[in-house]
Amino acid sequence: MMPMSSGRFFTSRLVVSALLMLCFASPLGAQDKSQPWWRHAVFYEIYPRSFADSNNDGLGDLRGITSKLDYLHTLGVDAIWISPCYPSPQFDFGYDVADYENIDPMYGKLADFDVLAREAHKRGIRVIMDFVVNHTSHQHPWFLESKSSRNSPRRDWYIWRDGKGPGQPPNNWESSFGGSAWTLDPTTGQYYYHYFEVQQPDLNWRNPAVEEAMFDVTRFWHKHGVDGFRLDAVDLLYEDPDLKDNPVLPGKNEFGDPKMTNKYNDNLPQVHDELQRLRKVTDANGQVLIGETWTDNIDELKAYYGPHQDEIQLPMDFLFTTVDKRSAPGFRKQIGLAESSGGWPVFVISNHDIVRSYTRYGDGQNNDQIAKLMAGMYLTLRGTPILYYGEELGMENHDPVRKEDVKDPLGQQGWPEQKGRDGERTPMQWTSGANAGFTQGTPWLPVDPAYSTHNVAFESKDTDSILNFYRLLLAMRHRSPALLDGDYIPVDQDDPNILAYLRRSGKETILVALNFSSSSQPFDIGQATHGVSRAKSSVLLTTSSTDVTVKGDKHTILLSPYAVFIARITP
């Protein structure tokens, strides 16, 4: 290998060149093959309504996704998670499933899915389905049958109870979309439970027939080439059988309802027993489980790996999103906690329910630089990253400004405090042409005006773009044994501005230094490399515009505002 520099840090800007790519071609040997595939993979979430529209009806579809697999492959994506594309009345844009074993006509046919899975696999890309386990659509045949009579054989597939009294629901539980979590069915005179929308009744997982029917869904998709599932709202599978009232807290929530803790309908111990049973089924078919695991603390998150690593392989760490804007100590602490959990971390910075990271972390002036900073962090950490479509372009939130434009039921019900999630679901930005090249029809949500400069075609030509930075980072990650499998070793735990760490495997040591501040900051490489004398260092990738030359024994470099600095250390 020809390192870019040896014993000396070169002055740098982001240099996108074949030379740099050569530098990534580590001679240090292949990744640890004994590891399961998902540990070395980079996942990419696709919101199918918004990704690529092949028939110009304004909605994305499966053929659209298939047509973009080469793009994803070149980007360096190893697995795609497709948000729900099953038949659905779309009250919650697919998170209300009316048939778990088919494809909604708006997205295509099952045969289109088979082509997508085949073409993805040809390119080494695995396919993950979103599995909405907690609830179905109110139009699912199971619910229609359940609702038809108190004596229906499927009555107990959902959670039905008598009210406390006339006009009074069974208890005080609230829907996360506002109002009571109970809706009265006038025909049978009982209430059904729905943690989410009225149109999303909760399944009764205490019923073994429900469990078996859902296990069968995983087997069905195995036959269609599905490599795993993202488990939606998995913490909500079980409810207290006595339906005790939840403790009420002072104040009101965004819907004007009393605040409360979901003590009796969230995160019950039985969830873990269920996950262990599910895991046996998916393991039999070599499918991986990813969890939508919102937790309040690291111990709760830790529990999702299972007592014997026998529950979810990849529980998402949303605690990462609670860190204050651009705080080196904040991220250092959170990474440390995740590392201490003993599980394989899954850091998340964006998805279809969260304001885009570009908007959350941006300062309004250096947003592109900060987008690279965030990528420089979470793509070099130990664990499996899950990108959200468009994050690699620096797509930002484009929120509706008028209530009548809001499509998301959450925004419709919570306006104006809660604007909903349309802003993070706008069409993928492919070109500078009409509708960002997403569709020739009318897109279901407006494209973000910033698309003219933040799109795949434009950024591909700009060596300094966010997209090319992602490409380089991902290429580096895939070829670096230290980044794939190495330990995480924090450096200078007290630095208020620079988050720095080593990633070290038996074969390689990588140093990552990230300047989270808006001013240039000195960074002592000598200390970072644990005093390795005359350490030879080769810069792999940096966005620092400052001279980072090492002079004599002085091993301090100056990192420009929000700079990423990644080097290989050779003792």
User: How many residues bind ligand NOJ, per CB under 6 A?
Assistant: 9
User: Binders of ligand NOJ among 229-248, rule CB under 6 A?
Assistant: 232-233
Candidates 268, 289, 267, 299; CA nearest to 214 is 289
Between the CA atoms of 55, 60, 65 and 71, what dihedral angle is there, to the nearest 10 degrees? 100
Token pair listed for 407 = 């499509």
In the complex, the smallest distance separating the C-beta of residue 173 from ligand NOJ, rounded to whole angstroms, is 16
Active site residue 232: yes
Mask for 289-308, x = binds ligand NOJ (CB under 6 A): ---x----------------
In the complex, the smallest distance separating the C-beta of residue 161 from ligand NOJ, rounded to whole angstroms, is 21
CA distances from 295 to 235, 289, 423 (A): 9, 17, 24
Mask for 131-150, x = binds ligand NOJ (CB under 6 A): -x------------------
Nearer to ligand NOJ, 78 or 232 (CB): 232
45 has which bridge partners?
81, 388
Q: CB nearest ligand NOJ: which residue? A: 95
User: Binders of ligand NOJ among 373-412, rule CB under 6 A?
Assistant: none
Question: Binding residue for ligand NOJ (CB under 6 A) from 353, 464, 492, 524?
Answer: 353
User: How far is it, in rounded angstroms, from Cα 465 to Cα 376?
Assistant: 14
Question: Binding residue for ligand NOJ (CB under 6 A) from 9, 44, 91, 95?
Answer: 95
User: Binders of ligand NOJ among 193-232, rule CB under 6 A?
Assistant: 196, 232
In the complex, the smallest distance separating the C-beta of residue 160 from ligand NOJ, rounded to whole angstroms, is 20
Q: Give the pairing type, strands 43-46 and 487-491.
A: unpaired
3-state SS assignment for residue 291: strand
The yes or no reply on residue 92 touching ligand NOJ (CB under 6 A) is yes
User: How far is it, in rounded angstroms, from Cα 252 to Cα 452?
Assistant: 41
Nearer to ligand NOJ, 95 or 358 (CB): 95
User: How far is it, in rounded angstroms, from Cα 288 to Cα 45?
Assistant: 15
The yes or no reply on residue 257 touching ligand NOJ (CB under 6 A) is no
Query: For 256-260, which contacts have Cβ atoms below 8 Å and span 24 or more sequence positions?
Result: 256/178, 257/174, 257/178, 257/179, 258/172, 258/174, 260/172, 260/174
In the complex, the smallest distance separating the C-beta of residue 90 from ligand NOJ, rounded to whole angstroms, is 12
Nearer to ligand NOJ, 100 or 565 (CB): 100
Nearer to ligand NOJ, 233 or 510 (CB): 233
Token pair listed for 6 = 């040896």
Q: What is the DSSP string of 15-32?
A: --SHHHHHHHS-SS----
Candidates 256, 234, 239; CA nearest to 131 is 234
The yes or no reply on residue 348 touching ligand NOJ (CB under 6 A) is no
Token pair listed for 352 = 């279809």
Nearer to ligand NOJ, 140 or 352 (CB): 352
In the complex, the smallest distance separating the C-beta of residue 96 from ligand NOJ, rounded to whole angstroms, is 7
CB 21 within 8 A of CB 475: yes
User: How far is it, in rounded angstroms, from Cα 485 to Cα 507?
Assistant: 10
In the complex, the smallest distance separating the C-beta of residue 23 from ligand NOJ, rounded to whole angstroms, is 39
Task: From the candidates 202, 235, 292, 311, give the one annotated as an active-site residue.
Answer: 292
CB 568 within 8 A of CB 538: yes
In the complex, the smallest distance separating the C-beta of residue 83 from ligand NOJ, rounded to whole angstroms, is 8
Nearer to ligand NOJ, 185 or 353 (CB): 353
Task: From the candidates 232, 424, 448, 485, give the one annotated as an active-site residue.
Answer: 232
Nearer to ligand NOJ, 351 or 380 (CB): 351
Active site residue 130: no
Catalytic positions are: 232, 292
Residues that bind ligand NOJ (CB under 6 A): 92, 95, 132, 196, 232-233, 292, 352-353
